[in-house]
Amino acid sequence: MQRVPGKAVDALSGVVTEAQWQTTVVEAAELFGWWVFHDHDSRRNQAGFPDLVLIRPPRVLFLELKRETGKLTRAQSEVLGMLAECPGVETRVARPSNWSSLCGWLS
């Protein structure tokens, strides 16, 4: 099983922060040839939109990133559900423990 890259893990706590996790996921997606969108200031956006939109034709993938203990909000669950009902759109919730699966999703 592949492990999350060491630079994503906080040296003192051993925890993967959401910011570190996002940086790691974006770098991996770009290495696999995905175009990546992240809204750096989502305060004025409607609640629930996923953290990342990845495009690599013919695929479109919406990713919600969570720490190991993070929970989806109701709005996030609802938006992911609506997106999942759209033909050809993929949705995933990605946690550090999903690293191996994430590499598979991106390849």
Reported as a single tens digit per residue, the pLDDT across 31-49 is 999 999 998 777 788 899 9
The whole-number pLDDT of residue 40 equals: 79
DSSP string spanning 50-71? -SEEEEETTEEEEEEE--TT--
Which top CATH class is 6-40+47-106?
alpha beta
Is residue 53 within 8 A of residue 45, CB to CB? The reply is no
C-alpha to C-alpha distance for 31 and 46, rounded to whole angstroms:
30
The whole-number pLDDT of residue 17 equals: 85
The whole-number pLDDT of residue 1 equals: 45
Alpha helices, H only, 1-107: 18-31, 74-84, 99-106
Mean pLDDT by groups of 10 residues along the chain of 107 residues: 56 71 95 94 86 97 94 97 97 95 95
The whole-number pLDDT of residue 45 equals: 84
* Structure token digits, residue 65: 């990133």
The whole-number pLDDT of residue 6 equals: 56
First CA to last CA distance, the chain? 16
According to DSSP, the residues that pair with 92 across neighbouring strands are: 63
The whole-number pLDDT of residue 98 equals: 92
C-alpha to C-alpha distance for 72 and 20, rounded to whole angstroms:
18
Secondary element (H or E) of residue 89:
strand 89-94
pTM of structure = 0.85
